[in-house]
Amino acid sequence: MKRSDDPNRLFFLTRSLSYGGSERQLVALAKGLWKQGVFVTVATFYAGGPLGRDLESTGVPVESIGKRSRWDVLGFFWRLVRLVFRSRPTILHGYLATANILTVLLKPFCPSAKIVWGLRASNMELERYGHVDQIQSWVECKLSCFADLIVVNSHAGFDFAARKGFPQEKMVVIPNGIDVDRFSPDSLARQRIRQAWGIPEDMQLIGLVGRLDPMKGHDTFIKAAALLSRGRDNIRYICVGDGSDAFKQKLVALSKEMGLGHRLIWVSAGDDVEAIYNALDLVTSCSSYGEGFSNVIGEVMACGRPCVVTDVGDAKRIVGDTGYVVAPGNPAALASAWQEALDASGPEKTRRSQMARRRVVEHFSLDRLIEETARVLETAVKTGVQRMI
């Protein structure tokens, strides 16, 4: 799929390009394929989004369909159809459930295009969400037979989709890719961020980076922090991410109830996340469900930071023997693992730091993601797809 000599066109469809793990992964993939000569267009439901500017700066066309509200349905779909007509894609690539469903509905308007889906989650507990999400998940499963290729970013996600009824013979696993040049150890960034937060170098800092969502396990993080803080006053905690005001208020109330007070800092998401990773002494992913491949875990490891993770999605597979793995929803186990990691000797911490970065470079690099994606898309266009795990 080369721009210079091939008529194939790759059309990504996604909800938005705001800060988020899936969105950053899409941007990195689109930029990488564009640099390889693939003709890429990225279309978003909603206009704006900070990551869109990043894409546009490299020359990748970014198109907004201009969805005005949840109820802007017919007008939105008609604008999308017109955009697809103009783009003449060879591949319609949905990113997440709503976009996946729409690619099938668009098929009659571009019958020669291959339909590719992107699945990014595993073991979702949809009863925690609204009826719209539950219906959407059911529809996506029923329409999955119309996809020509389904790219899953985790082995856990593959198993979960297969149990739901997605066609296994059309599914391939391609783990997320980490930009190991951008995400790397940086002592100057560490110093800058900690000074901005008022955290001295001798204060240990444990962080949770992720959107404010029930699946991310912030309640477990807060309860574990309260347990660890009972006998130690040289630790601070930080939650980096955005979400609904109502959910954040619940979490803040819980932290006050647990007596954390000034020990817990709340920071909004931003584009300087690699500096934030470096500022932390220990990073945790304590999701209780829903994770496929956690970008945060891979990015943190590339920065040489040790991780404590819950055994959800592919977290255990990602960290290997470089980090610490505990059962989800267990604050006591999480606090115990934090204590073990923080109390490790200097040489042991250095060893784990080096092993963590090396593991990402060898197994989860961005170059590998781009190469594998280009290869399976080429195969989908020419001959179909074979199962590849």
Same domain, 141 and 268: no
Is residue 271 predicted with pLDDT exceeding 50?
A: yes
Mean pLDDT for 94-110 is 94
pLDDT digits (tens, 9 = 90+) for 233-256: 899 999 999 999 999 999 999 999
Yes or no: say if 180 and 360 are a contact pair by the CB < 8 Å rule.
Answer: yes
Alpha helices in the chain (DSSP H): 21-35, 50-57, 74-87, 97-106, 131-143, 155-164, 187-197, 218-229, 245-257, 273-279, 295-302, 315-319, 331-342, 346-363, 366-382
Is residue 4 included in any domain, yes or no?
no
Yes or no: say if 263 and 224 are a contact pair by the CB < 8 Å rule.
Answer: no
Is residue 3 included in any domain, yes or no?
no
Same domain, 59 and 167: yes
Q: First CA to last CA across the chain, in angstroms?
A: 23
Same domain, 170 and 211: no
pLDDT digits (tens, 9 = 90+) for 347-364: 999 999 999 999 999 999
pLDDT of 389: 33
Alpha-carbon distance of 23 to 28, in angstroms, equals 9
What's the CATH number where 47 sits?
3.40.50.2000
pLDDT digits (tens, 9 = 90+) for 291-313: 889 999 999 999 999 899 999 99
Residue 70 banded pLDDT, cuts 50, 70, 90: confident
Same domain, 88 and 201: no
Residue 82 banded pLDDT, cuts 50, 70, 90: very high
Is residue 217 predicted with pLDDT exceeding 80?
A: yes
pLDDT of 127: 62
Is residue 1 predicted with pLDDT exceeding 60?
A: no
* Full residue range of the structural domain in which residue 139 is found: 10-177+365-382
Same domain, 116 and 249: no
Contacts with 263 (C-beta within 8 Å, 6 or more apart), sequence order = 225, 229, 235, 236, 237
Is residue 92 predicted with pLDDT exceeding 50?
A: yes
Percentage of the chain with pLDDT > 70?
Answer: 94
Mean pLDDT of the chain: 91
The predicted model scores a pTM of 0.87
pLDDT of 380: 85
Mean pLDDT for 191-209 is 95
> Of all residues in the chain, what percent are helix, strand and coil, respectively (each to 5)?
50, 15, 35
Same domain, 206 and 354: yes
Same domain, 283 and 260: yes
pLDDT digits (tens, 9 = 90+) for 18-37: 877 788 899 999 999 999 89
Is residue 388 predicted with pLDDT exceeding 60?
A: no
